[in-house]
Amino acid sequence: MADAGGWSTIESDEGVFTSLIENLGVKGVQFEELISLDADTIRSLSPVYGVIFLFKYLRDQTPTTTTTAPQDGTYVPNPPENLFFAAQTIQNACGTQAILSVILNQDSPSSTPHPIDIGPELRGFKDFTTGFPADLRGEALSNSETIRTAHNAFARASPFVDETVRTARDEEGDVYHFIGYTAVGGTLYELDGLQPYPISHGECDAGQFPEKFQTHTM
């Protein structure tokens, strides 16, 4: 995985994420920070399209992957063609990639009763990469001038940055990683670009998502 590749570090902030997707042409969607992962809290924000989960790798800890089985759930080596899943090829792009893993899977009535209007730019990108394997999708994402420009518009502004805000990498060398969770085609998927395949956590539709996600994470 490349380190930067022209992608800057951006803040992990719901306002930044909302503005980022608006700049990409997405309409009618906003991000909210969850103070609790219980089902009632998630459902209160309905319609909910997915959850972006942020966690920290401790210093000197490296992500581990295996092609045999994930720690939880089941690998899906041959996912449905309509499932957008991309391998992560650029470290600083992990937040934007997790966002797109949710947004680009929630633009169809087959996934949600309230399909997202993803706009012409992302529609063209999704159509272009349909049928690509995960590694080529990841390369296409990292090489997208449109997506990279929208991402870099929210580059961390040093030296006047709020040091309490989390970024993909902090000054002590700890790395933060983002994973997307969303229900697609009746299945709860964990979409982690550092894993070789999407991970299934069982049957789940849009209405069941809050309870299913709580069960998986609690």
As annotated, the active-site residues are 94, 177
CA distance 49 to 115: 9
**Which tokens sit at 190?**
């964990």
**Which tokens sit at 28?**
């009618």
CA distance 37 to 190: 16
CA distance 218 to 13: 23
Q: How far is CA 187 from the centre of its chain?
A: 16
Closest CA to 100 of 195, 47, 178, 194: 178
Three-class DSSP category at 160: coil
- Let me know: does 70 contact 125? Beta carbons within 8 Å: no
- Let me know: does 89 contact 194? Beta carbons within 8 Å: no
CA distance 189 to 203: 9
CA distance 190 to 197: 9
- Backbone Cα Rg of the chain: 16
